[in-house]
Amino acid sequence: MHSKPELVILRVSAVLLLLATAGCSGREREFEIPEGARVISFSGYEWVVSTSADQKTGPGPNYFSDSEENVWVDNKGRLHLKITYRDGRWNCARVELARHTGYGKYVFYVSSRPDSLDPQVVWGLYTYMNDEEEIDIEFSRWGIENNHEAQYAIQPSYIPGNKARFRMNLKGSYSTHIFDWTKKWIDFASYQGHILNPVNETRIIARWRYYGDDNPPDSDEKLKMNLWLFRGTPPLNGAETEVVIDRFEIR
């Protein structure tokens, strides 16, 4: 079992009024936080930890738990998401940003290897408004052992041109993943190591620019990170899964 330091956990009961950061949309948003929700602090932002209680919900469907066994911040300030098996069921993890941010460059510095996930596990970094207004960086083989390990996607992803799949070919545990969301296009990138602007092309894992018609408008979408099981099916290796996000920033 992992050890956890003291966490700053807020429990809110009404409406949290937060301002968008400079460099993003600049519009105020009021996000209603469910009664008794668990809120954690990570990378200078407040995040709501999702729970589905005793009901399965999408994606998957799966059970999502707000337990400290599934979501926590360690004493180095890193976010951990974990799929656990407790009392005869698999519990998945999800957090969502408790403020509106809109257009901008979203940067995720991770220190777990997305290319080593069980084929049934999905690790998502994404904005979500609804099933047709969503920007995704997803790490998964979608249940297929030799499938590519990652994809960039704009929903609906079944539309030709709305998805780019790629091999990770990681050379270590550290990688950086970015989507730069503008009104006209979305730029995606993944790099070896923790780096924002690699000079050496060998550090580039993948890049993709989306110009299509399904670029979501800047509205009331929420930024989320999750770890879940494809079609709610248990991991092929029968093991729990943990991933670590070192830090996050919006530029």
Which tokens go with 90?
Answer: 């698999």
Residue 190 amino acid letter: S
- Report pLDDT for 251: 94
- Report pLDDT for 31: 75
Buried b (16+ CB within 10 A) or exposed e, 68-103: bbbbbbeeeebbbbbbbeeeeebbbbbbbbbbbbbb
Overall number of domains in the chain = 1
The terminus-to-terminus CA distance of the chain in angstroms comes to: 35
Which pLDDT tens digit goes with each residue over 146-205? 999 999 999 999 999 999 999 999 999 999 999 999 999 999 999 999 999 999 999 999
Low-confidence ranges of the chain (pLDDT < 70): 1-30
Q: Which residue has the tokens 């969301």?
A: 181
3-state class (DSSP) for residue 27: coil
User: What is the rounded CA–CA span in Å between residue 213 and residue 203?
Assistant: 30
Residue 3 lies in a domain: no
Segments forming the whole domain that contains residue 88: 9-250
CATH code of residue 232: 2.60.120.200
- pTM for the model: 0.88
Residue 2 lies in a domain: no
Residue 12 amino acid letter: V
Break the chain down into helix, strand, coil percent, rounded to 5: 5, 45, 50
Contacts of 27 (CB under 8 A, 6+ apart): 20, 100, 102
- Report pLDDT for 7: 37
Nearest to 235 by CA among 130, 17, 84, 96: 84
Residue 25 lies in a domain: yes
